Amino acid sequence: KQEVTQIPAALSVPEGENLVLNCSFTDSAIYNLQWFRQDPGKGLTSLLLIQSSQREQTSGRLNASLDKSSGRSTLYIAASQPGDSATYLCAVRRQETSGSRLTFGEGTQLTVNP
């Protein structure tokens, strides 16, 4: 059974700092991995999708990497801003089919202080 773990559970940084969020998964046979942002009481916003054959994806100040063989992904946020404050979720999809379920981690709650 796939287990997804995110470290740290919470992170508080001053504005402008670069930071790294970590995600690990137990079964390396994944189809893809998605990073989401969740604001309090709100839905999930997809930030980046990395296919299993890719090593990284970039969108603006966000860069996600994937090391499938070691079961790890990182989300790098450059020059953090108070508006980045949210919970960041990592989720993986099994290999068998493109329509299969996402398995989520517990999330990292990020606070960026002005």
Stretch that binds another protein, among 21-29, 31-39, 62-70, 76-84 (CB under 8 A): 31-39
Among 7-15, 18-26, 63-71, 86-94, which window interacts with another protein (CB under 8 A)? 86-94
Q: Which of 30, 102, 110, 112 binds another protein (CB under 8 A)?
A: 102
Helix H, strand E, coil C: the string for 33-101 is: EEEEEECCCCCEEEEEEEECCCCEEEECCEEEEEECCCCEEEEEECCCCHHHCEEEEEEEEECCCCCCC
Q: Which residues contact 84 (CB under 8 A, 6 or more apart)?
A: 77, 110, 112
- Chosen residue from 18, 45, 81, 111 binding another protein by CB under 8 A: 45
Site residues (CB under 8 A) for another protein, limited to 51-80: 51
User: Which residues contact another protein by CB under 8 A?
Assistant: 31-32, 34, 36, 41-46, 49, 51, 89, 91, 93, 97-107
